[in-house]
A and B are shown apart, each in its own frame.
Chain A
Amino acid sequence: MLLTDTPIEIPLIVTAVNAGRTAQARLASMGILPGEKLMVLRNDINGPLVLEVKGTRVAIGRGLCQKVMVSPGNEESKE
């Protein structure tokens, strides 16, 4: 499902990032790339989302978030 459609504060795993190369690399440098865990902390009606990734908080524009696919990541998959 789309990152923008997920409930907040549940663990998620990125399955795909369908953005352009620049945006993809930008997200990767923040730790957002397939296989990585993250959590949505804030998702208001409009404006950027706030994610928790690798212990940091990152704000990502809504448009870009719509290009990130995620699936629910269960707690056990946390090492």
Chain B
Amino acid sequence: MGKEITIAFAGNPNSGKTTIFNRITGAHQHVGNYPGVTVDIKEGKRNIDGLPVKFIDLPGTYSLTALSEEELVSRNFIVESKPDVVIDVLDASTLERQLYLAVQLIELGVPLVLAFNMTDVAEKAGFKFDIPLLSDLLGIPIVQTTATSGKGLAELLQTALSVARQKIEHEPKPLVYGKELDTEIDRIVTRLSSTEVNPYIDLPLKWSAIKLLENDSEVVSDFMNTGGDVGELFDAVEGSRQRLARIYSDPADMLIAEARYGIISGAASEAVTRTVEERHNFSDRLDKVLINPFVGMPIFLVLMYLVFWLTFTIGDPLMGWLETGFAWLGGTVNGWFGEGSESPIRSLLVDGIIGGVGGVIVFLPNIMLLFISIAVLEDTGYMARAAFIMDRLMHKIGLHGKSFIPMLIGFGCSVPAIMGTRILENKRDRLVTILIIPLMSCGARLPIYALIIPAFFPSHLQGPMLWTIYVIGIILAVVLAKLLRTTIFKGESSPFVMELPPYRTPTIQGLLIHAWDRGRMYLKKAGTIILAISILLWWATAYPKLQIYSDDYDSQLETLRIDYETELMDVNLELGLPDGFDNIKIALDKWIEDDRSELTTTNSLLADRFLETVIEIDEIRIGFDRAVDEQGLIENTPDFITVKYVFESRLTELEESKPDYFPIAENYLDNILSPYLAQSSEIEFKIYEENLNYSIMGRFGRFLEPVFRPMGYDWKLVTATLGALAAKEVFVAQLGIVFSVGEADSASSSLRQKLMDNYSPLIGFCIMLFSLISAPCVATLVVTRSETRSWGWALFQFFGLTVLAWILTTLVYQVGTFFGIGV
């Protein structure tokens, strides 16, 4: 086995580089680990002719300066990792612009192969290429390819491997920059060849000379960092610059850029001809509409709505399945341990690990769908237009047009939104966008508002109140973006320079690879850091264990159970079943335990009929609740009354068809089972509450109470807020626990009653305001950390937002209290 060959792909964005990379490596690729780099470099491996070949997909760039991270990453990779060959993928129809990068690759002296991609499209547009002549003029092998169909890829690989194995001599023709420039470059080369100081011994001296003349910040600092005496060299470079300045008005780096384009147009004028000048092609016509200031915006909003809809409407049922799956898993694992087991391992597995990680993994469908949507927008070329349209608005708050898309996604969930900021090339734009995304009120905060608003506000104010909360978030985001832009991220906002690539049909493979990449990254996170934090939160809520409770809950539960069983015996008698017949009890216990799904037979026709009736009544009632829930019906509205009537008539029908069993079954459900379940869960939650009080989280809540006091919070609200760190929606459940109302959801009327009894509308508003602004959930924290590759930014966001929330909520509470608003 020979040495592993490394082939790196370089090229402009939208040149088809990644499509070729995907075609060649297929699914065998991953994001390479290059420390300190926030730009992804993808790697793929494949055996060719029995030899291992490593492929690298460098970020798409137009140039190789040190002025943007992508360009620097690409250049440093080539300089440091020395790939055996670089394939520069060029879109043949915009050849001259694309060759600008190729010329810089030639300057680097790296073995190079040019892939003329989409030559079929270019030829249709009227271009004619004399490939052998162009190849000869540049001294670089050129292969024609069509990335989407895979045409020419085999030849491309063979050529690249031949170059790598030095079977084809790599002999680029020397580049001619013009008399004056060449003279000065030669002078610096001479100076370089006589000095020991050169951090780039493997690279052509001419490259170093050009870079020094360009005053490339990275190269200059590399020369300084050698510690050698660079004074003379730098003086020589400065002398060259001054001589050039006497002849030309442009600075040296511009002269070099002009000379590069000169070289390109020289070669192109010989080897490329354009027969027909085609104007107003498909892309032109589409752009007339899509970036029109009047029509473009509505179309953009509709498309964004579609993305949103796809991500959350299609994703939510999938999310539901995953939730069910994790609930089942939790139940199954629970079953491994004995009834009422107090095993800490059970609790760790079920509540800590499965609950915690499950709560994160359920977002996976949303994330995959979102990234498929984003990939479609990007691969078709629409994303650049969207950024163009939004730039008018976003520019005003110091952000890039593209920032709008992740911000919008933030209304669904901050996690995919923060991952979505990858579409922003500029680091500052990206950081500001990441930092403000949590202010876009995410879907998980909606249950909190849904609980609070009806509890404190009359129905005509409920809609406006929800709207107010969302708008407060948006206004804060805008203000904060502007603030960050003028303070921490001060400086000229990155100039809006963006290619509007021709519209194209995306490939399914490309879309799937894109979505899977993100999904896999997300899963990896769920399996590591989020797992650890979930366990920590679980531990803080579960420990230390309380040994002695304030009341003898066990015997209370036992009494309840005995009462329930006695009453069931009465049902037996009423049905005319023999004394001591307990098959009904067994069947019902099993039925309740299985979440009311399976019913076992009892070997008694009478008992079976009774049980069937119980289930039928129960099903109709559940059906009614579900209908109200799904259609969002509000009590006493005409729709509600209609639905209620439908279900009530079904019950009447059932009663008429089973007159013997119906009253007994109804009595059992309403007067025996329901009170029993309600009372026992109330006791269980009392136990939970006492445990929580005693736990680290509970103590922490009490400890922090003075801090939260100025914004009207008591320890119960503090503890619920702490629990909500895991996920915002947990707040409601936690509140249910601290108020011991049993299982609480956002529609829980008993919890609402408790809130109304305990707090004022002002506090209600403060709860929402604090939930909106304060520390995002742990998943957001972790994603911010991994996307910024810095705990610093993640913690800054986490605590910064919390402090902001505290200040604003305190202000609202104090001012409100002072003026007696809503107290």
Q: Could you tell me which A residues sit within 8 Å of B by CB distance?
A: 16-17, 19-31, 33-36, 42, 44-48, 50, 53-61, 63-64, 79
| Among candidates A17, A21, A54, residue contacting B97 with C-beta atoms closer than 8 Å | A54
Q: With a CB–CB cut-off of 8 A, which chain B residues contact A29?
A: 61-63, 65, 100-101, 257
CB distance from B19 to the nearest CB of A (A): 18
Knowing A24-B254, A58-B500 are in contact, say whether A31-B100 is a contact too (CB < 8 A): yes
CB distance from B240 to the nearest CB of A (A): 18
Q: Are A60 and B496 in contact (CB under 8 A)?
A: yes
Contact with A along B217-261 (1 / 0, CB 8 A): 000000000000000000000000000000001110110011001
Knowing A29-B65, A42-B291, A44-B293 are in contact, say whether A58-B498 is a contact too (CB < 8 A): yes
Q: With a CB–CB cut-off of 8 A, which chain A residues contact B96?
A: 31, 54-55
Interface stretch among B47-55, B183-191, B388-396, B705-713? B388-396
CB distance from A74 to the nearest CB of B (A): 16
Contact with A along B494-518 (1 / 0, CB 8 A): 0111111100000000000000000
CB distance from B91 to the nearest CB of A (A): 9
Show 17 A/B contacts (Cβ-Cβ < 8 Å), sorted by A: A19-B495, A20-B492, A25-B257, A26-B497, A27-B497, A28-B63, A29-B101, A30-B97, A30-B497, A47-B388, A48-B392, A50-B291, A56-B97, A56-B501, A58-B498, A58-B500, A59-B498
Q: With a CB–CB cut-off of 8 A, which chain A residues contact B389?
A: 47
Q: Are B269 and A61 in contact (CB under 8 A)?
A: no
User: When chains A and B are docked, how far (Å) is the Cα of A48 from the Cα of B291?
Assistant: 11
Q: With a CB–CB cut-off of 8 A, which chain A residues contact B797?
A: none
User: When chains A and B are docked, how far (Å) is the Cα of A26 from the Cα of B494?
Assistant: 10
| Among candidates A34, A58, A61, residue contacting B499 with C-beta atoms closer than 8 Å | A58
| Among candidates B61, B62, B254, residue contacting A34 with C-beta atoms closer than 8 Å | B254
Measured CB to CB, the nearest residue on chain B to A64 is B495
Apart from the given pairs A33-B261, A48-B392, A50-B388, 13 other A-B contacts in the complex at a CB distance below 8 Å? A24-B254, A25-B257, A29-B63, A33-B258, A35-B258, A47-B391, A53-B97, A54-B94, A55-B93, A56-B501, A57-B283, A57-B499, A60-B497
User: When chains A and B are docked, how far (Å) is the Cα of A34 from the Cα of B283?
Assistant: 27
Knowing A50-B291, A57-B500, A79-B269 are in contact, say whether A33-B257 is a contact too (CB < 8 A): yes
| Among candidates B257, B291, B293, residue contacting A28 with C-beta atoms closer than 8 Å | B257
Knowing A36-B261, A50-B291, A55-B93 are in contact, say whether A30-B391 is a contact too (CB < 8 A): no
| Among candidates B261, B392, B496, B499, residue contacting A56 with C-beta atoms closer than 8 Å | B499
User: When chains A and B are docked, how far (Å) is the Cα of A68 from the Cα of B495?
Assistant: 13
Q: With a CB–CB cut-off of 8 A, which chain A residues contact B100?
A: 29, 31
User: When chains A and B are docked, how far (Å) is the Cα of A58 from the Cα of B499?
Assistant: 4
Q: Are B97 and A55 in contact (CB under 8 A)?
A: yes
Q: Are A33 and B254 in contact (CB under 8 A)?
A: yes
Asked whether any CB of chain A lies closer than 8 Å to the CB of B384, the reply is yes
CB distance from A67 to the nearest CB of B (A): 9
Q: Could you tell me which B residues sit within 8 Å of A by CB distance?
A: 61-63, 65, 67-68, 93-97, 100-101, 249-251, 253-254, 257-258, 261, 269, 283, 287, 291, 293, 384, 387-389, 391-392, 395, 401, 492, 495-501
Q: Are A46 and B499 in contact (CB under 8 A)?
A: no
User: When chains A and B are docked, how far (Å) is the Cα of A31 from the Cα of B93?
Assistant: 15
Q: Are A25 and B258 in contact (CB under 8 A)?
A: no
Q: With a CB–CB cut-off of 8 A, which chain B residues contact A50?
A: 287, 291, 388, 500
User: When chains A and B are docked, how far (Å) is the Cα of A60 from the Cα of B287?
Assistant: 16
CB distance from B769 to the nearest CB of A (A): 34
Q: With a CB–CB cut-off of 8 A, which chain A residues contact B495?
A: 19, 22-23, 26, 60-61, 63-64
Q: With a CB–CB cut-off of 8 A, which chain B residues contact A31?
A: 96-97, 100, 261
User: When chains A and B are docked, how far (Å) is the Cα of A72 from the Cα of B499?
Assistant: 23
User: When chains A and B are docked, how far (Å) is the Cα of A24 from the Cα of B253?
Assistant: 9
Q: Are A25 and B63 in contact (CB under 8 A)?
A: yes
Q: Are B291 and A61 in contact (CB under 8 A)?
A: no
Measured CB to CB, the nearest residue on chain B to A79 is B269
Measured CB to CB, the nearest residue on chain B to A78 is B277
User: When chains A and B are docked, how far (Å) is the Cα of A48 from the Cα of B401?
Assistant: 10
Q: With a CB–CB cut-off of 8 A, which chain B residues contact A25?
A: 63, 65, 67, 253, 257
User: When chains A and B are docked, how far (Å) is the Cα of A58 from the Cα of B501?
Assistant: 8
Q: With a CB–CB cut-off of 8 A, which chain B residues contact A61?
A: 391, 395, 495-497
Q: With a CB–CB cut-off of 8 A, which chain B residues contact A44?
A: 293
CB distance from B765 to the nearest CB of A (A): 38
The 4 closest A-B pairs by CB, nearest first: A61-B496, A29-B63, A29-B62, A47-B392
Q: Are B93 and A48 in contact (CB under 8 A)?
A: no
User: When chains A and B are docked, how far (Å) is the Cα of A19 from the Cα of B67?
Assistant: 14
Measured CB to CB, the nearest residue on chain B to A45 is B293
User: When chains A and B are docked, how far (Å) is the Cα of A54 from the Cα of B61?
Assistant: 17
User: When chains A and B are docked, how far (Å) is the Cα of A20 from the Cα of B253?
Assistant: 12
User: When chains A and B are docked, how far (Å) is the Cα of A31 from the Cα of B498?
Assistant: 12
User: When chains A and B are docked, how far (Å) is the Cα of A45 from the Cα of B500?
Assistant: 19
CB distance from B126 to the nearest CB of A (A): 11
Q: Are A17 and B94 in contact (CB under 8 A)?
A: no
User: When chains A and B are docked, how far (Å) is the Cα of A61 from the Cα of B395?
Assistant: 9
Q: Are A58 and B253 in contact (CB under 8 A)?
A: no
Measured CB to CB, the nearest residue on chain A to B265 is A79
Q: Are A48 and B499 in contact (CB under 8 A)?
A: no
Q: With a CB–CB cut-off of 8 A, which chain B residues contact A19?
A: 495
CB distance from A36 to the nearest CB of B (A): 7
Interface-centre pick from A23, A34, A46, A57 (highest chain B CB count, 10 A): A57
User: When chains A and B are docked, how far (Å) is the Cα of A53 from the Cα of B93?
Assistant: 12
User: When chains A and B are docked, how far (Å) is the Cα of A60 from the Cα of B392?
Assistant: 12
Q: With a CB–CB cut-off of 8 A, which chain A residues contact B501?
A: 56-57
Q: Are A34 and B258 in contact (CB under 8 A)?
A: yes
User: When chains A and B are docked, how far (Å) is the Cα of A17 from the Cα of B251?
Assistant: 11
CB distance from A30 to the nearest CB of B (A): 6
User: When chains A and B are docked, how far (Å) is the Cα of A55 from the Cα of B274?
Assistant: 11
Q: Are A28 and B254 in contact (CB under 8 A)?
A: yes
Q: Are B97 and A59 in contact (CB under 8 A)?
A: no
User: When chains A and B are docked, how far (Å) is the Cα of A36 from the Cα of B265?
Assistant: 11
Q: Are A47 and B500 in contact (CB under 8 A)?
A: no
CB distance from B16 to the nearest CB of A (A): 14
Q: Are B67 and A48 in contact (CB under 8 A)?
A: no
CB distance from A25 to the nearest CB of B (A): 5
